[in-house]
């Protein structure tokens, strides 16, 4: 992520949108893969995990941005981690209070948000250099992008592996669910398939751009 400019960024729509697509933490940067694969066997779990991560991401980015002039450079990583761990503890207790069922389903992965490299990466590469407002918008975008990725895995895996979406059955009764999709290998396969799709789209776009004919230009 060294290509991010060192100077302060102006607040533009792109500050938010970048996290959704161009720098999507999961599909493009391949960060924070563990929860992406582990808790996406159903849509509800994926959504809860996405929201919890977004909360921690936004809060810790804000605090890092606020304290950026006071944290000494030598101990910055340790300080970021303590900040992140504090917010994760808050989320952990909050989810326990809201829904024990959800807490059991997500398991250790709530506490493992601490070790999610998306959050530390944002703190180090963005929040420690930018102003409060841009940091807020950017981390919201990143969180949304992360949630989107979790959902895109969660829905596919739930539909194929269980024949349901958000717990509602959508296939005729004789549909034989692909159990493998809810099991660990399914996570790898579905994410791999999404990446294949994005690769294919990117290659197609590049090929079109490389074609020297005027047909494409006219079509635009």
Partner 1 sequence: MHAEPLSLIFLNAAIVNNFVLALFLGICPFLGVSAKKDTAWNMGLATMFVMLVSSAAAFGINWLLTELDLLFLRLICYIAVIASAVQLVEMFVKRFSPALFRSLGIFLPLITTNCAILGLALFQTTKEYDFVQSIVYALGAGAGFTLALMLMAGLREKLALARVPSVSQGAAMSLMLAGLLSLAFMGFAGLGGSHG
Of 8, 22, 66, 93, the one binding partner 1 (CB under 8 A) is 93
Place of tokens 């991560």: 53
Q: Does 184 help bind partner 1 (rule: CB under 8 A)? A: yes
Sole binder of partner 1 in the list 4, 98, 133, 183 (CB under 8 A): 183
DSSP 83-95: HHHHHHHHHHHHH
Q: How far apart are CA 143 and CA 5, in angstroms?
A: 21
Interface stretch with partner 1, choices 49-57, 61-69, 75-83, 146-154 (CB under 8 A): 75-83
Question: Is residue 100 within the footprint of partner 1 (CB under 8 A)?
Answer: no
Contact letters (x/-) for partner 1, 8-37, by CB under 8 A? ----------------------xxxxxx-x
CA distance 71 to 182: 43
Contact in structure between 6 and 130 (CB atoms under 8 Å): no
User: 140: part of which helix (H) or strand (E)?
Assistant: helix 132-162
Among 49, 57, 59, 120, binds partner 1 (CB under 8 A): 120
**Residue among 131, 121, 128 nearest 11 (CA):** 131
User: Can you give the binding site for partner 1, defined by CB under 8 A?
Assistant: 30-35, 37-38, 77-78, 81-82, 85-86, 88-89, 92-93, 108, 111-112, 114-117, 120, 180, 183-189, 191-193, 195-196, 199-200, 203
């Amino acid at each position: 992520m060294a290509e991010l400019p060192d100077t302060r960024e102006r607040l533009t729509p792109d500050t938010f949108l970048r996290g959704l697509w161009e720098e999507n933490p999961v599909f493009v940067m391949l960060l924070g893969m563990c929860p992406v694969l582990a808790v996406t066997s159903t849509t509800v779990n994926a959504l809860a995990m996405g929201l919890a991560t977004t909360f921690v991401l936004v809060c810790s980015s804000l605090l890092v941005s606020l304290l950026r002039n006071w944290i000494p450079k030598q101990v910055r990583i340790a300080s970021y981690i303590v900040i992140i761990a504090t917010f994760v503890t808050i989320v952990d207790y909050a989810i326990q209070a809201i829904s024990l069922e959800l807490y059991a389903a997500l398991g250790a992965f709530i506490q493992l948000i601490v070790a999610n490299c998306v959050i530390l990466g944002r703190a180090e590469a963005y929040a420690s250099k930018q102003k409060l407002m841009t940091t807020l918008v950017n981390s919201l975008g990143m969180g949304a992008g992360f949630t989107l990725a979790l959902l895109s895995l969660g829905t596919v895996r739930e539909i194929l592996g269980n024949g349901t979406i958000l717990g509602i059955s959508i296939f005729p009764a004789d549909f034989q669910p692909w159990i493998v999709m809810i099991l660990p290998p399914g996570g790898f396969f579905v994410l791999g398939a999404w990446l294949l799709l994005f690769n294919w789209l990117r290659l197609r776009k590049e090929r079109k751009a490389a074609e020297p004919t005027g047909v494409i230009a006219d079509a635009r």
